[in-house]
A and B are shown apart, each in its own frame.
Chain A
Amino acid sequence: MPLFIFPLIGRFHPLIVHLPIGFILFALILMYYPRKDKNLLLPTVQFALLLSTLTAFFACITGIILYNQEGYAFDTIQNHLILGILTALTCLSLYLLVKKYQSTSNPKIHIGSAILFLSLTITGHLGGNLTHGETYLTEVLPEGVQETFGFKIQEQFEPFSIDADAWEQALFFDEVVQPILNQNCRSCHNEKNSKGDLILTSKESLLEGGKNGEVIFHKTPLESELIKRMLLPLDHEDHMPPKEKRQPVEAEVALIIAWLHAGTSFEETLGQSGISVDLVSSFFVKNETSIYPEVQLEPLEEDVFKELKGKGFFIEKLSVTFPLLKVSTINFTNAENQDLESLEPILAYITILDLSLSNVTDDIIPLIGKMENLTVLKLNETKIEGQNFEILKGNAHLIQLHLTKSMVNRDNLGKLNSHPSLQKVFAYETPLAKEINVEKLKELSFKVEVGNFELPSLPTDRMKY
């Protein structure tokens, strides 16, 4: 007999099962449909039950072949299998009883029908779960209903990350390997759903392995089934996780290999294992240290925005959730000193102020001095000379000062020397950039960019090849 016959017959199981389902239901309907003469349809009932029995057994046989050929774990199908055989047997008994009593109204027959109906329904449902997945029916329900009935068992795992400052103290297995397994393997290898009998939710289950034995080989760790499967080409049949599932990133696999390499210890920390920081660095949580001060300020009311926008100011929060503001006169280039007085109520909120191209003069500096959270100040192309720049020393968060094409000279910039926070001043095309040698600017406590870059001509510039 050709080899493909059995698998082929097995795969007809999902089709064949519908015959007994149909016949059994048909027989039951025939039994209970007639109202007066209960035995009116008796010969038909007998025939329907005979057909049900035959097809039910045939379905059982194809089912068992399918189970043998496709390598289902017994645990997963046992209920379906037992109930399926029970259905076939009940069906046979019912047929024999009906034949014996030549009636459908015997109490034994009623009990038999009830059992048959129940076992048929449950078997069918379990079979459906096997082909479509356990959540097939429930996943379409509203989330609330699912939660109430506890159908929702899908666990969500946060992407795995390591604290950059304390990575050496992190436990290699518990804080690195297990989270990677959780994220990439656990959905198919857990206590409820253990494909290939493999559970990857804990140290114990990992050591236990799956139906083909251990997945971690202690003596030759790099030959471990766990890792070999992940390294197979994506379209290889045995590649894990399956092609259509989320794939681990290279660095995650590299970390598991490193763990195996380092001796498969369950107690070691990352530091003790001696692995290079490069292996873990891509998982560091970046503690975003922004240059802006951390403040406890109530977000501003919409009205304040509206009013200032109406005056012509550009005013926007730095990010959706951060209360500090960027204010500029980009659309209000004829703004004078007194126009800026309307910013008085929000001075503490301004962290970027751009007055480039406006008509402001040195008299505006005292107002700017009151902006306690100012980090970036742009005064490009203004008449600012900086006579009173010492006031800005009070802006303890000021980091960048843009003075391109302003009127600031060396002496006035010097008033900012030893400013508590200032790091960079841009002073291209200012009197200060022209008047003195650049060396003298190096004495200042901050970096001054005077620009005037040049790209000397090269003989190749005008060459035509």
Chain B
Amino acid sequence: MKRLENLLTELHRTQLEKQTRRHFLLDCVSKMGGLALAPLLFGCETNPGVPKVQGLQLSDRDLNPLSPLPPPYFAKAKSVIYLHMAGSPSQLELFDFKPELVKYNNQPCPESLLEGRKFAFIRGVPNLLGPQSNFAQHGESGAWVSDYLPHFSKVVDEVAFLKAVHTDQFNHGPAQLFMQTGSPRLGRPSLGSWVTYGLGTENQNLPGFVVLTSGGKTPDAGKSVWGSGFLPSVYQGVQCRSKGDPVLYLEDPKGINRDLKKTLVSSINEVNKAEFEAFGDPETLARINQYEMAYRMQIEVPNVMKINDEPESIHQLYGTKPGEEAFANNCLLARKLVEKGVRFVQLYDWGWDSHGTDHDTAIDLGLRNKCNEIDRPIAALLLDLKQRGLLEDTLVVWGGEFGRTPMQENREGKTMGFKGRDHHVDAFTMWMAGAGIKSGTSYGQTDDFGFSGVEGKVSVHDVHATILQVLGFDHEKFTYDFQGRPFRLTDVEGEIIRDILA
């Protein structure tokens, strides 16, 4: 306390020394202006930090914005693992089997389908492209899965497919934002941020929302896909590296022991608390909390992020590549994090943009390699969650940001050397598994070419509404006041997809 007093006295003195007549004049001008401005801004933000969920008011939220809260309704799931394949895999090679498309392979696409449509790269009349993989039905549910995913085929009975998801964005960045934040433009909180804001986190030594990336690049939309938008920034995703130290500068420098660090952190936080009392900016609280969490994470994170301690059988199951940045490692980490009570784990795997411009993006070559990278890890993740009983309260979601065309891409109207498909918004496949999901089902159907949904069409908002429902929220009532109006993840849309709920 003595130390703090000294610090504060010193701060006060230096501030006074620097206070001049000019400051007085400046204050007169700026603060008068502020007075005039205040009524204009009235209603911008009513009560930051306290979720407006069913009239609930909790003051511990002001001190610890990540403190746990009960959901408004019974929740089936307490955690989410979201596997996002950035670039968007081809549903027509993996899940959406279209025998008709085989027959019409290399035939010009009927003009009626193309009328009034725009594609990212396709120009003129492209040819249809039959599936490049071999499909078979698997499991008791008889789900169609191709030979690109031999391991996943064995766990299809755990999964509920959505075969006719549609979006309205055909470029990666906006489509990823739409899929993750409910809006194709910047500024909205991501799904994980909403969930962490609404429920807080159970394990106070770990972040509530962790992001892991693989495939060599982060998503095209940048870090905004796990940003907190207008929510306090403490709810944004914490990106952990899957290679090297999970969080940079986590270890203490040489010669600094943990006690000294503790004193340091608590002194800084005392100053920050005074700052908060003076100005009431919620971001200051976020700062305090992040310091404290960083201190606690120093112990917990290295433990949980260390996959070397896992037994050999688990490494074999997932097909991990220790020391590398690999999707398999991230899947194993996702399980460990969820096991430790992390609320939302978001995995991004980059490299699914199969345009057919080169070997790596060819639908019959590069795509198979990408499938190999995720096939075993995803099957392993589902099995591992199942054997540990974690699938009872964890929701797993898989998908891209859109789908791929039934037509072969003809960039600039030319025939291309490799087989590829363009971005497609009208129909693509996603799946969910785990808590609250009716496993072994398939909902929605596409037409004979897999071009558009013909029944059970669901939008991105519908997917969000369903995820929130499983977590115990009514997506229409879960709001945050910003710029004078309540905002929702699902904006003014979204129907819960009850057919896939248990």
Q: List chain B residues, Cβ under 8 A from A464.
A: 369
B154 and chain A: residue at smallest CB distance: A455
Q: List chain B residues, Cβ under 8 A from A465.
A: 364-366, 368-369
Q: Is A318 an interface residue (CB 8 A)?
A: yes
Q: Is B232 an interface residue (CB 8 A)?
A: no
Check if A453 sits within 8 Å of B386, measured CB to CB.
Answer: yes
Q: Is A314 an interface residue (CB 8 A)?
A: yes
Check if A331 sits within 8 Å of B205, measured CB to CB.
Answer: yes
Q: List chain B residues, Cβ under 8 A from A320.
A: 53-54, 56, 70-73
Check if A316 sits within 8 Å of B380, measured CB to CB.
Answer: no
For residue A266, give the distance in angstroms from its CB to the closest CB of chain B. 30
Q: Is A452 an interface residue (CB 8 A)?
A: yes
Q: Is B50 an interface residue (CB 8 A)?
A: no
> A290, A330, A426: which contacts B387 (Cβ < 8 A)?
A426
For residue A24, give the distance in angstroms from its CB to the closest CB of chain B. 40
A290 and chain B: residue at smallest CB distance: B74
> B71, B319, B341, B372: which contacts A463 (Cβ < 8 A)?
B372
Check if A400 sits within 8 Å of B392, measured CB to CB.
Answer: yes
Q: List chain A residues, Cβ under 8 A from B366.
A: 465
Most chain A CB atoms below 10 A, which of B73, B147, B384: B73
Check if B386 sits within 8 Å of A451, measured CB to CB.
Answer: yes
For residue A145, give the distance in angstroms from its CB to the closest CB of chain B. 23
**Given known contacts A316-B68, A400-B392, A453 and B317 CB-to-CB distance under 8 angstroms:** yes
- Assembly CA distance A328 to B341 (angstroms): 11
Q: Is B238 an interface residue (CB 8 A)?
A: no
Q: List chain A residues, Cβ under 8 A from B364.
A: 465
Check if A319 sits within 8 Å of B372, measured CB to CB.
Answer: no
**Given known contacts A331-B204, A455-B151, A455-B383, A426 and B388 CB-to-CB distance under 8 angstroms:** yes
Q: Is A204 an interface residue (CB 8 A)?
A: no
Check if A452 sits within 8 Å of B387, measured CB to CB.
Answer: yes
- Assembly CA distance A282 to B203 (angstroms): 38
A356 and chain B: residue at smallest CB distance: B339
> A322, A328, A449: which contacts B74 (Cβ < 8 A)?
A322
Q: List chain A residues, Cβ under 8 A from B69.
A: 316
The count of chain A contact residues (Cβ–Cβ below 8 Å) is 38
Q: Is A244 an interface residue (CB 8 A)?
A: no
> A249, A449, A460: which contacts B386 (Cβ < 8 A)?
A449
B150 and chain A: residue at smallest CB distance: A458
Interface string of A262-293 (1 = CB under 8 A from B): 00000000000000000000100010101010
Q: Is A237 an interface residue (CB 8 A)?
A: no
Check if A319 sits within 8 Å of B203, measured CB to CB.
Answer: no
Check if A461 sits within 8 Å of B319, measured CB to CB.
Answer: yes
- Assembly CA distance A328 to B150 (angstroms): 39
For residue B201, give the distance in angstroms from its CB to the closest CB of chain A. 10
> A314, A319, A452, A460: which contacts B72 (Cβ < 8 A)?
A319
- Assembly CA distance A102 to B317 (angstroms): 109
- Assembly CA distance A292 to B74 (angstroms): 10
**Given known contacts A282-B498, A318-B74, A322-B74, A451 and B204 CB-to-CB distance under 8 angstroms:** no
- Assembly CA distance A449 to B73 (angstroms): 29
Q: List chain B residues, Cβ under 8 A from A317.
A: 70
Q: List chain A residues, Cβ under 8 A from B316.
A: 454
Q: Is A428 an interface residue (CB 8 A)?
A: yes
**Given known contacts A314-B68, A455-B376, A458-B151, A319 and B472 CB-to-CB distance under 8 angstroms:** yes
Check if B341 sits within 8 Å of A330, measured CB to CB.
Answer: yes
Most chain B CB atoms below 10 A, which of A320, A328, A331, A461: A320
CB-contacts of A36-74 with B (<8 A): none
Interface string of A306-324 (1 = CB under 8 A from B): 0000000010111111100
> B70, B154, B202, B376: which contacts A330 (Cβ < 8 A)?
B202
Q: List chain A residues, Cβ under 8 A from B317.
A: 453-455
Q: List chain B residues, Cβ under 8 A from A404.
A: 387-389
13 CB-based A-B contacts, threshold 8 Å? A249-B495, A288-B74, A317-B70, A320-B53, A320-B70, A320-B73, A328-B202, A426-B387, A428-B389, A455-B317, A458-B150, A465-B365, A465-B369
Closest 8 CB pairs of A and B: A451-B387, A426-B389, A453-B383, A317-B70, A465-B368, A428-B387, A465-B365, A402-B389
Q: Report which B residues bind A (CB closer than 8 A).
A: 53-54, 56, 68-75, 147, 150-151, 154, 202-205, 313, 316-317, 319, 340-341, 364-366, 368-369, 372, 376, 379-380, 383-384, 386-389, 392, 472, 495, 498
Q: Report which A residues bind B (CB closer than 8 A).
A: 249, 282, 286, 288, 290, 292, 314, 316-322, 328, 330-331, 378, 380, 400, 402, 404, 424, 426, 428, 449-455, 458, 460-461, 463-465
Q: Apart from A320-B72, A428-B389, list 6 A-B contacts with CB within 8 A.
A: A316-B68, A330-B340, A426-B388, A455-B383, A460-B150, A464-B369
